[in-house]
Amino acid sequence: MPKRAETHSEPVPAREELNACRRCPLWHDATQGVPGAGPTSAKLMLVGEQPGNEEDLQGEPFVGPAGRLLSEALERAGLERHDVYLTNAVKHFKFELRGKRRLHKTPGQLEVEACGIWLEQEIQAVEPTVIVALGATATGAVLGRKRVALSTLMDEPVEREGRLVVATYHPSFVLRQRSEESRHAAFERIVASLRQAVRLAAGRRSR
């Protein structure tokens, strides 16, 4: 995918800024804040929910099981990780301890809203033509809505301040499916959404 010239005025939030963030309590138990990754010239931005256990430890988005699945989906859509800017709605890992295991907990609305300034800064800095929102939390965060019905929003891209938002399943949703058949269907849906995002980005001039 052709890259745009670097004309962006705002930088994306730095790791240190996220580590210093006290806008919600999640920093306290997380190892570190996880900034977005990828070229700031990308036309596509992918937004996930929050870092998972491995992302929290490594400080990089989508490097755990969901990230590996996302890489496969990107590949199927003719994209590579370095073609897109990858980030999360919430930058610190929210979890509950079960023995020694840290189990993912869905971030609450207050945490999503508190983290909104960082996502907004990334959108302003990267100026993506199309944003792919992975799952309901990301879709709500990108569209600034408290509650979203993902299944209805997945039908058509939604316009958000001149950019298109393609809502799709989160890769973890695929991993949670019990049958091979539903895993396959959910994965193919993500691939189709990524392909749609590529087409939309190609057909639309950047703002």
Summarize as ranges the residues that interact with ligand URA (CB under 6 A).
48-52, 55, 61-62, 64, 66-67, 88, 172
Torsion region of 62: left, alpha or beta (phi above 0 gives left; psi -120 to 50 gives alpha): left
Q: Shortest gap between Cβ of 90 and ligand URA (angstroms)?
A: 8
Q: Of 101 and 207, which has the nearer Cβ to ligand URA?
A: 101
Which pair of tokens denotes residue 95?
């979890």
Q: Would you say 129 and 84 are in contact if contact means Cβ atoms under 8 Å apart?
A: no
Question: Whole-angstrom Cα distance, residue 122 to residue 141?
Answer: 13
Q: Which residue is nearest to ligand URA (CB)?
A: 48
Q: Shortest gap between Cβ of 183 and ligand URA (angstroms)?
A: 17
Q: Would you say 173 and 186 are in contact if contact means Cβ atoms under 8 Å apart?
A: yes
Which pair of tokens denotes residue 39?
């070229």
Which pair of tokens denotes residue 21?
């963030």
Q: Shortest gap between Cβ of 34 and ligand URA (angstroms)?
A: 6
Q: Of 40 and 172, which has the nearer Cβ to ligand URA?
A: 172
Q: Would you say 172 and 105 are in contact if contact means Cβ atoms under 8 Å apart?
A: no
Q: Shortest gap between Cβ of 172 and ligand URA (angstroms)?
A: 6
Q: Would you say 40 and 8 are in contact if contact means Cβ atoms under 8 Å apart?
A: yes
Q: Of 49 and 111, which has the nearer Cβ to ligand URA?
A: 49
Q: Of 139 and 172, which has the nearer Cβ to ligand URA?
A: 172
Q: Shortest gap between Cβ of 65 and ligand URA (angstroms)?
A: 8
Q: Of 19 and 206, which has the nearer Cβ to ligand URA?
A: 19
